[in-house]
Amino acid sequence: MQIHLELKPFISLETEALVTYVFDDNDGPQGRAAELDQATAGLLARLNKSGELTGKSLETTLIHSPAGLQAARLLLIGAGKRELFNAATLRKIAGVALRYLKSRSVHNFTLVVREGAGTEVNAQAIAEGFLTADFETDKYKTDRKKDKFIDAASIAGYSDAEKTAAEKGIARGRVIGEAQNFARDLVNEPSNKLTPRVLAEKAETMAKEAGLKIEVLDENKIADLKMGALLSVAQGSAEPPRMIVITYTPANPKPGAPVIGLVGKAVTFDTGGISIKPADGMEKMKYDMAGGATMIAIMRALAVLKPNVKVICVVPATENMPGGKAQKPGDIQTAMSGKTIEVLNTDAEGRLILADGVHYAKQLGATHLVDAATLTGAIVVALANVNVGVFGSDQAWTDKLLASAKEAGEKMWQLPMDDEYREFIKGSFADIQNIGSGKGGGSITGAWFIREFAGDTPWIHLDIAGTAWNDDAKPWLAKGPTGVALRTLVQLITSL
């Protein structure tokens, strides 16, 4: 899909659909909406008066052959409250426009930004909105509708003076939107098509194309390095594990600068192991590698955006299966760090593989860590599918992430990490146990388990179990993988 900047006056644009947005304050057309109203002999005011156009958030009103315009259609999208309007609103509006028009077999359209909205961040958000909305999960459907596609989406409403900002925003938005879709494509793959080995191969292909350094550790190397926690999860499966390590090094690294370690959980299928999960809904556990996919995709974006900071991405990849060699409740494992772990529940496997991932990232030189994982069902209880759960050991580092999430338009919420919760995972027969002994706080004890391996290194954990998968389609996003956390982490790293 092409994304153009259109500098010609929007009234005279020949496009299959002209799209803009209106607010819910009902105080009559203003600014660019007034221009549009004038060109169409009072159409907006009439629609407003009849109650058909309210400006309610994401409401859509389609007019065919609007008199006074060269466009074949006019699509008006509700922008909600004027005072709450920001780049995140625009990202959604762009997505709604694309999916609404694509489903009606329109192939090109132009989105006009309103007066005062001609900024770089807005152009970036629109490009991201277009690209992420264009992503479909019908890859394996043989009857997918081949006539439903968008060729070109244009952005108008920018002045000549705003052209450079718009073009920069579009370029950055394209890199980020495409990276997010790359992550979603990996998450969408079923576990028979995406084993740990296949994930590693796909990461290798990406890294070669992007010019990134990559090393994939196979099961022998993993054993040589004594990654006992990762191996314990992998031992129940016929598929061997992989440890994927991708490195981005800036051209002129500053001596003493921070080195970011991104660690992502990649369980390509989580049956629960011997502590097996119920059948109902188990098919969804193909997305238990979303954290790893996100981290790999971030590296692809960084290779283009070239921030001046070194980033090491570490992705432990395995299946969690109940094979004859599977670990059993009560088994004691020794992690790469030397800590011993009593595995009381084999379904709490994400924290096990992250233990070795985090330790290895530190050994490779990471000074600041972020992990992302579909770690706990408990985070869905706490935050539903709305917010990513954020946990941190260093408030200054965590605050940077939370600020980046705001800028990237991703909802994230910090949860507490009091020492009391750490007591929950004190082991009876080993140093620590992989589930909490207390009642409740399941997401926090999971986070504490990982933190034991981060030690004094500033560390953030993102629990994306509730947000990495959309159970229902949204007007701006298909059902299925969301690629959550990618935009926030790209923002964090490029702002350092």
**Footprint of ligand BES (CB under 6 A):** 270, 288, 345, 347-350, 374-378, 435, 442, 465
Where in 231-290 is the site for Zn ion (CB under 5 A)? 267, 270, 288
Where in 326-365 is the site for Zn ion (CB under 5 A)? 347, 349-350
N-term to C-term CA, the chain? 31
Picked from Zn ion, ligand BES, none, the partner binding residue 401 (CB below 5 to 8 A depending on kind) is none
Contacts 24+ apart (CB under 8 A), 360-364: 360/225, 360/227, 360/243, 360/245, 360/314, 360/336, 361/261, 361/262, 361/263, 361/312, 361/314, 362/261, 362/454, 362/455, 362/457, 364/245, 364/261, 364/312, 364/314
Picked from ligand BES, Zn ion, none, the partner binding residue 345 (CB below 5 to 8 A depending on kind) is ligand BES
Least distance in angstroms from the C-beta of 132 to ligand BES = 21
Choice between 78 and 442, CB closer to ligand BES? 442
Choice between 255 and 281, CB closer to ligand BES? 281
Tokens standing for 438?
């207390």
Picked from ligand BES, Zn ion, none, the partner binding residue 134 (CB below 5 to 8 A depending on kind) is none
Least distance in angstroms from the C-beta of 402 to ligand BES = 23
Asked if 371 touches Zn ion (CB under 5 A), the answer is no
Choice between 347 and 410, CB closer to Zn ion? 347
Choice between 15 and 195, CB closer to ligand BES? 195
Strand partners, 460: 370, 392
As a whole number of angstroms, the distance between CA 436 and CA 361 comes to: 25
Least distance in angstroms from the C-beta of 320 to ligand BES = 7
Choice between 228 and 466, CB closer to ligand BES? 466
Choice between 17 and 444, CB closer to ligand BES? 444
Least distance in angstroms from the C-beta of 38 to ligand BES = 52
Picked from ligand BES, Zn ion, none, the partner binding residue 319 (CB below 5 to 8 A depending on kind) is none
Least distance in angstroms from the C-beta of 239 to ligand BES = 17
Name the residue with tokens 């090094």. Answer: 249
DSSP assignment of 232-245 equals HHHTT-SSPPEEEE
Least distance in angstroms from the C-beta of 349 to Zn ion = 5
Residue positions annotated with a catalytic role:
277, 351
As a whole number of angstroms, the distance between CA 453 and CA 276 comes to: 26
Residue (of 98, 96, 103, 104) closest to 79 by Cα position: 96
Residue (of 34, 109, 35, 117) closest to 79 by Cα position: 117
Picked from Zn ion, ligand BES, none, the partner binding residue 465 (CB below 5 to 8 A depending on kind) is ligand BES
Strand partners, 78: 22
Choice between 296 and 379, CB closer to Zn ion? 379
Least distance in angstroms from the C-beta of 230 to ligand BES = 14
Residue (of 157, 96, 86, 169) closest to 127 by Cα position: 169
Cβ-based neighbours of 206, under 8 Å, separated by 6 or more: 182, 212, 296, 299, 300
Cβ-based neighbours of 470, under 8 Å, separated by 6 or more: 385, 477, 478, 479, 480, 481, 482
Residue (of 206, 443, 217, 376) closest to 301 by Cα position: 206
Binding site for Zn ion (CB under 5 A): 267, 270, 288, 347, 349-350
